[in-house]
Structure 1
C-alpha cells in the first residue's frame, strides 16, 4: 500500500512539474527615443515558442518552466538582441532596441516566426517610413499614399492623384486610420497630396485582404498609421523647405522617461508668393481678379505614464484647404470660396490587467467638412447695389466613437484579440441656401441631416495548430441603425499559412465585409465635392466577399521577401449617381425638394486578378518590384442600359519598379518607374446643334427665348481606353552630419523623360481644314511635364 502511495505521489509531482509554466512579459522600446515598437518578434531560438509585440510594444510569452533560456528580440531595421532569462517564475522584462546601420548588410537571424512566410496574415504590406522619405516625389513632397500606390493590388487614379483603388474597390472603400481615428478625406490640393506628414508618422501598414476581425466598416483595404509618440530623452526636431511648402516637427520630454510630446506642422505658401505678382500685374486695371490657394495641417500628440501598468495618450490632426477668388470692377463685385478640411482627436488609455491581458480603450472624434460660397453684386452708375446673389453649400460628416480592444496571451500557441466599438455618425450630405434679388434665385434652401449608430463586436484567434499550420480565425458582428433602417450583419474572417519548407508557405484567406458609409462621386478624381452619405432604409449597406490564395517565400541572402497572390472579390449594393445627376443638382427646380437618395442607384461589381511582389527593406540597395494583372466589372440596372461595363479605375496591367541605393553615408540615389494600362473612359460618339426652349419653365413662342445649344450623344459606358501610363522619377540626396544637426539637400525630377500622360480627353472642334464647317476630333490634355524640384531638410 505504501509503495502504491509513493508511486502515485511521484507521478503527481512529475505531472505537476510538466504542467508548470511561467510567463515573460514586458515592453520593447527604441533605445534613443524610448518609443514603443510594434511588430517586434520575440522568441526562444530552436523552439516553437514565439510571439510579437502588439501596436503598443507589449509582448507576453508563456513557456514551460526550466532553469534558463535565451530570449531573442528582432525587428527589421534594428539590431537583434539576445537576453538570457531565468524560467523559474513569472518575469517582467523591458527591452530597448538599437537602430541598425542601414549602410551595412543587415541580416536578421531569427526563428521562422520572423519570416513573412510564417505569418498567418496574408495580403499585408509594411513600408518603412525611412524608405518613404527616400523615394522621389512630385514637387519633393514625400507622400505616404503615393508610395502605397506603387504596391501591387493598388491602382492609381489619375495623373498625380493620391486616391487608392485596391483590388477593384473605390477610394471610399479604404479604411484610413490615424491613431484609431478614421480620416474621411485624405487629400490636399484636389488630391495631388495627402494629408499625412511623413515626419509625424511612425509606421504604415496596408491590408488588402484576409482582414482580421478587429477591422470593419470598409470593403477593400485598411491603411493603419500611428503617429510618433515623441522622444523621452531630449528635445529633437526636423523639418524641410520645399518649392511649395515647408514643415517643422518638434518632439521631446515633458517629464523625462515618463511623458513626452510631438508637434508637427506644414503649410504651403503659393498664395503668399503669388499675391504681390498678381497685384503688380493688375495695378491700374479697372477689372481686378485676385485668386489664391493654400493648405495647412497640424499633428499633435502627448503621452503620459500613469505607472508601470497604465499609459495615457492624447493625439489629434487638424488640416484645411482653401481656394478663393476675389473679383472687383466698377460695375461688379464678387467673392468665391471653396474650402474643406479634416479634424481628428483620440484619447487612448493602455492598461495591463495581468501579464497575459492587455487592454486599450479609445475615445475618438473625426470630422470632415466641405463648403462652397459664392457672392456677387451688380453696382449701378451711382455706386449703389442694383442686384445681388448669394449661394452657400455645405457638406459634412462627423463621428464620435468609443472602442475597447483586449489582447490575451493564454499560451505560446494562441494570441486572442477581442473587443467592441460604437460610433455615432452625423452626416449632412447637402445643405444649400440660395438668396438673391432675382425671382429665380429667391430663397431656395435645403438641409439634409442624417444620424446613425454603427457598432461592432469581434473575436479573433491567431493559433499555431501544429508546427506547419498557423491560422487566424475570427468573427465580427456589425450593427447599424438609422431612423429608416436597421442592419445586423455577421462577418466571418479566416486566413491560414501552411509551411511547405522552412522559408516557403502556402496561404489562403476569406473575408466578408460591410460598409455603412458611402462616397458619391461622378468625377473619379477624389475631389472634395465627392459626398459621404449613410446607408438608409432605401440605400442598403455595401457588402463584399473576398477569397485569396498564394505563396510567400523569404530569402536570407540577400534579405528578400517574395509573394505571389491571386484574389476574387464580389461587391453588392455599391452606389453611383444616376445618369446626369451630380452633387449640386438643382435642375429640378426647388432646392427644398432635393434628396441625394433620389439621385443614386445601386448595383454590383466583381474583381479578380493576380499580384506579384519582391521586396527588400534593408541594406545599401533596397526597394521592390510589384506587378498586378486584374479585371474589374460593374453592373447597374439603371446605368449603361443594364449592360456590364468597366469602371474608370479598371486597369489590366500595373507595374512598379522602385530602387534606393545608398552610395555612402553622404549620397543616396533613388528612382522609380511605373507603367499602367490606360483608364476606362466614357466619351461621346457625336455632337450636334439643337434648339432648346428657355423661358423659366414656361412655354413661349417668342424666338427671343429660343437658344441654339450644342447637344452631345453618348452610347455605352467605358467605350474608350486611354493611352497607357508610364513615367520615371529620380532623386539624389546629399547628407551631411554636423556637430549639432544633420542636413539633407535633395534634387528630384518628376517625369524624367517628359512623357505626356493623359489627364483627360475632350472632343474639340477642328475648323482649320473644313472652312465654315467643323469636325470634332479627340484631344488629349496632359498635366505634368518634366518637373525638377529641390528641397532642404534638417534634423537635430
Structure 2
C-alpha cells in the first residue's frame, strides 16, 4: 500500500502544481445549508457570473472556488431553492457560509446563469440523484415509502420478483451493489423477505445512484453505488414528523442541542403485524401457540460544530426482522403430567455506525476522517423441552434440544478522504481506507439431552469464521480542459489479504463530456472494478439466506469492465433527456450448483458453487422533469444479460434470471391544488427467465405409485408472462395550529393485474389428465391509507 501511495504522489504533485502559479487569486469557501433547519445541501451550485467559473458542494455541504482578485458576483443555487447572490471585492481568502430558502413557485424563477449544473455539463454519466420529497410523494406499497422501490423505476435498474425491493443493476446481482448509509456498507437492505427496504425516508437527506462511469473514490463492487446520506438534525429548532399506516408506524424527532452549534436526530419505525394478528391466533389455538413477525429500524445521529474548520458526527443504524413461533402444551392422564414447550425463530438484521471528523486545512483542502463498524447477521433457531412428571415428586424426566444456524459478516473500517480544489478547472479527490472483515459463512450449533437414555450431544458443525483485510487508495481529478471538454480521470488501487493469500487490483477510471452546443453534450466512460467478497444466495423463493464469503484460491475475486457512450440534452430548460448505451463484462461470478443446499454445513461452501462469467449490454433512456407543478420521469431500458459456467447448462451460455428485454417505468407527481397532490407510477417488464421441466418419465421401482423423473431443458429457457402494474395515490394536506397533517390514500396494482410471482408444475393424481404449469400471483388490487404529521 505504501508503494501505491508513493506511485500516486507525482500525479498529486502535478495536479496540485496549478495552485502555485495562481498569482493574485483568492479562494472563497464555506458551507451551503437549508435556511430553515440547517441541513447541508449536497451538490448545490456555486457560480461566478463574471468568469463563468463554478463549483459545487460536497457530501458535507462544503464548497471552494478560487477566482482572480476583482469585484465578483457569486450566485448560489439549488433545485427547489431561491438563488442567492453575493457581491464583493475579492482581495483575500474569504469564508462565506450560505443559507438558502425554499422556493414557493419554481416556474417563476428564471436565472439562466444561476441554475444548478445542467445534465449536459456534468462529467459523470450513469448517475441519478432522487430528491427525498419526490420519493415521499410517489405511491407506496401499503403506504410505506421506500427509497429502493423508487430506484427500481429508473432505467438500468430491475426489481427482481414482483413487489420486492431487490435491485439488479445493468445485469449485476444483489451482492454487486455497494449500498452506503452515511458511508457505511449495508449488506442486506431488505425487510419482510424483500418486500420493504431498511431505509426510513424520514431520516434521509440525499440519495444518489451510480450505475456506471464510477469515480475512483468508489470501489469494492461491480454494478452500482447507492450513496445514502442521513439527515444531520435541525440546527434551528425542535421538530418532529411521523406517520401511521396499515402495517407500520414511525416517528422522527430532531432539534438543536446548542443552537447553530450541535444537533441531533432520532428516527424509529416498527411494524405491528404481530400485534394485530395476536388476538386472532390466540383465539384459534386456545392461547397455547404464539406466532408473530415484525421488523424495526432505528436511526440516530448527533453532530457538533467546533469551529468553521472542524465538525464531528456520530451516526448509527440498527434494524432487525424477527419471526417467532412458541408453543406450550400441558396434558395429564393416568397420574402422569406432560408439558411440551418449543420456541422457534428466524432473525436477520444490520448494525452500522460511523464516527466522522470533518476538517478544513485550507480554503482549498477539505478532509473527512471516518471510523466505521457494520454487522449483518442471519439466524435460525429451534429449541424444545419436554417434561414428564410421575406420581412421585422425584420422578421427572426431561427431553430437551437446541439447534441454531447462524451466518454473517462483520466489518471494522477506517478511512480518510480529501477534497482539493486548486482552481475552478480542477476538483481533486484522493484518500485511503482499510477494512477488517470477519466472515461467518454458516455454522450449525446442536445440543441434545435426554433423561430417557444416556445419549447427549453438544457440537458445532460447519464453516469456521474467516478473517481478511481489504485496503484501497484512490486519486481522481475532474478537469475542465476547455469550455467544451471536461474529463474525470482517476485510479483506484485495492488489495485483499485472506488465508495467507494477497490479491491486488489496479482499476483505471475515465469519464468525459464534450459540449456540442449549450444544450447538448456527448459523454463516454470506461471503468474497471474489482470485488473481493461473494454472496451465496438461493435464486428461488425462500428465506433471506445471504452467506457472505471471501475470495479464495479456488474462487477468485470478481472483476468487471464497463464501457458506456451517450448523450445528454436539456430541452427548453425544463426537461432533461439522457440516452446511454453500455457493455459490461464480468468475471469470476458464482452460483449454487444444481441441488446444493445452504444449510448442509458438512460441505464446504466452495464445493457447492460453480464459477463463471457474465455479460450485459443495452441502452437506457431517461426523460426527467424537475420543475413546475408537474414533475417526474420516464425511464426505458432495452438490455441483454447472460451467464456462462462450465459446470452449468453443459457449459453453454444461458439468460440470467433477471434478463429482461424491455423495462419501462413512469413516475408522475402533480400539484393539483395548493394542498392536494396526486401521483402515479406505471411499470412494465418482460418476464423473468426460469428453468422448467420439458418432460416427465414415470419410474415404478419398489414404490406403489412410482417415482417421477423430470427432464429439464436448457437453463432459464422459459419466460414467465410480462408484468405491468399501475399504482396511484392522492395526498390531502392541511396546516394546523401545531404543524401540518396529511392523509394519503393509495392503491397498489390499480387494475388488479395478476402478475407472476413463480410457476409450479401441477401433477394431477388422475393419470388421464396432463400435468400443467400454474402461476402463483401475490398481490391483487390493494388499497391503503396512512396519516402523516409534522410539528
TM-score interval, smaller chain: over 0.9
Q: Deviation of residue 601 (structure 1)?
A: 1.6
Contact 2:510–2:527 (8 Å) recurs in 1:
yes
CA distance in 2, matches of 1:514, 1:688: 45
Of the candidates 471, 476, 492, which is equivalent to residue 455 of structure 1?
471
Q: Does 1:59 align with 2:63?
A: yes
CA distance 1:420–1:707, change in 2 (3 Å): farther
Alignment match, 2:367 = 359
Q: Deviation of residue 465 (structure 1)?
A: 0.4
Q: Deviation of residue 478 (structure 1)?
A: 0.7
CA distance in 1, matches of 2:711, 2:538: 18
Of the candidates 15, 18, 23, which is equivalent to residue 19 of structure 1?
23
Q: Does 1:347 align with 2:355?
A: yes
Alignment match, 2:241 = 238
Alignment match, 2:715 = 717
Q: Deviation of residue 739 (structure 1)?
A: 2.0
Alignment match, 1:791 = 786
CA distance in 2, matches of 1:690, 1:391: 37
Alignment match, 2:262 = 259
Q: Does 1:116 align with 2:124?
A: no
Contact 1:510–1:548 (8 Å) recurs in 2:
yes
Q: Deviation of residue 405 (structure 1)?
A: 0.4
CA distance in 1, matches of 2:695, 2:28: 73
Contact 2:757–2:778 (8 Å) recurs in 1:
yes
Alignment match, 2:380 = 372
CA distance 1:441–1:708, change in 2 (3 Å): farther
CA distance in 2, matches of 1:416, 1:155: 33
CA distance 1:707–1:254, change in 2 (3 Å): farther
CA distance 1:524–1:163, change in 2 (3 Å): farther
Q: Does 1:49 align with 2:53?
A: yes
Q: Deviation of residue 333 (structure 1)?
A: 4.1
Alignment match, 2:426 = 414
Of the candidates 186, 199, 211, which is equivalent to residue 202 of structure 2?
199
Alignment match, 1:686 = 695
Contact 1:687–1:710 (8 Å) recurs in 2:
yes
Q: Does 1:314 align with 2:314?
A: yes
Alignment match, 1:574 = 589
Q: Secondary structure at the match of 1:294?
A: strand
Contact 1:163–1:526 (8 Å) recurs in 2:
no
CA distance in 1, matches of 2:209, 2:667: 17
Of the candidates 98, 102, 117, which is equivalent to residue 99 of structure 1?
102
CA distance in 1, matches of 2:778, 2:408: 30
Contact 2:415–2:431 (8 Å) recurs in 1:
yes
Q: Does 1:395 align with 2:407?
A: yes
Cα deviation digits, residues 52-91 of structure 1 (max 9, x gap): 111111111111112x111001111111111102122221
Q: Deviation of residue 551 (structure 1)?
A: 0.4
Q: Deviation of residue 775 (structure 1)?
A: 2.9
Alignment match, 2:636 = 627
Q: Secondary structure at the match of 2:165?
A: coil
Alignment match, 1:89 = 92
Q: Does 1:514 align with 2:498?
A: no
Q: Deviation of residue 780 (structure 1)?
A: 0.2
TM-score (structure 2 length as normaliser) = 0.92
CA distance in 2, matches of 1:300, 1:255: 17
Of the candidates 754, 763, 770, which is equivalent to residue 775 of structure 1?
770
CA distance 1:470–1:292, change in 2 (3 Å): same
Aligned residues: 756
Unaligned runs of 5+ in 1: 1-15, 693-702
Q: Deviation of residue 447 (structure 1)?
A: 4.2
Cα deviation digits, residues 636-663 of structure 1 (max 9, x gap): 0011111100111111100011111001
Contact 2:79–2:116 (8 Å) recurs in 1:
no
Bigger mean CA deviation after superposition, 243-252 or 523-532: 523-532
CA distance in 1, matches of 2:515, 2:617: 25
Matches within 5 A, 1:716-755: 716-755=714-753
Alignment match, 2:151 = 148
Alignment match, 2:545 = 529
Of the candidates 281, 296, 316, which is equivalent to residue 284 of structure 2?
281
Alignment match, 1:33 = 37
Of the candidates 612, 619, 635, which is equivalent to residue 610 of structure 1?
619
CA distance in 2, matches of 1:334, 1:18: 75
CA distance in 1, matches of 2:578, 2:591: 34
Alignment match, 2:497 = 481
CA distance in 2, matches of 1:107, 1:596: 60
Bigger mean CA deviation after superposition, 72-81 or 83-92: 83-92
Q: Deviation of residue 105 (structure 1)?
A: 5.0
CA distance 1:17–1:455, change in 2 (3 Å): closer
CA distance 1:504–1:210, change in 2 (3 Å): same
Contact 1:236–1:250 (8 Å) recurs in 2:
yes
Cα deviation digits, residues 675-728 of structure 1 (max 9, x gap): 000000011223455478xxxxxxxxxx89x99655433232102100001000
CA distance 1:683–1:384, change in 2 (3 Å): farther
Contact 1:40–1:74 (8 Å) recurs in 2:
yes
Contact 1:177–1:224 (8 Å) recurs in 2:
yes
Bigger mean CA deviation after superposition, 786-795 or 110-119: 110-119
Alignment match, 2:292 = 292
Cα deviation digits, residues 295-336 of structure 1 (max 9, x gap): 001000000011121000000000010011223445754322
CA distance 1:59–1:719, change in 2 (3 Å): same
CA distance in 1, matches of 2:34, 2:653: 53
Contact 2:50–2:72 (8 Å) recurs in 1:
no
Contact 1:229–1:301 (8 Å) recurs in 2:
yes
Alignment match, 1:554 = 570
CA distance 1:723–1:40, change in 2 (3 Å): same
Contact 2:78–2:116 (8 Å) recurs in 1:
no
Bigger mean CA deviation after superposition, 711-720 or 513-522: 711-720
Of the candidates 331, 334, 337, which is equivalent to residue 342 of structure 2?
334
CA distance in 2, matches of 1:149, 1:378: 49
Of the candidates 544, 548, 564, which is equivalent to residue 579 of structure 2?
564
Of the candidates 663, 671, 675, which is equivalent to residue 672 of structure 2?
663
Contact 2:389–2:397 (8 Å) recurs in 1:
no
Cα deviation digits, residues 365-406 of structure 1 (max 9, x gap): 110011001234567696966755432100010000001000
Contact 1:105–1:620 (8 Å) recurs in 2:
no
CA distance in 2, matches of 1:34, 1:207: 27
Contact 2:473–2:493 (8 Å) recurs in 1:
yes
Q: Secondary structure at the match of 2:757?
A: strand
Alignment match, 2:10 = none
CA distance in 2, matches of 1:459, 1:18: 22
CA distance in 1, matches of 2:767, 2:654: 38
Of the candidates 505, 517, 532, which is equivalent to residue 521 of structure 2?
505
Alignment match, 2:662 = 653
CA distance in 2, matches of 1:437, 1:779: 45
Contact 2:55–2:65 (8 Å) recurs in 1:
yes
Q: Deviation of residue 595 (structure 1)?
A: 1.2
Cα deviation digits, residues 498-553 of structure 1 (max 9, x gap): 00010110000000000111111122569521211111222111000000010001
Unaligned runs of 5+ in 2: 1-19, 332-337
Bigger mean CA deviation after superposition, 303-312 or 43-52: 43-52
Contact 1:191–1:527 (8 Å) recurs in 2:
no
CA distance in 1, matches of 2:242, 2:85: 35
TM-score (structure 1 length as normaliser) = 0.92
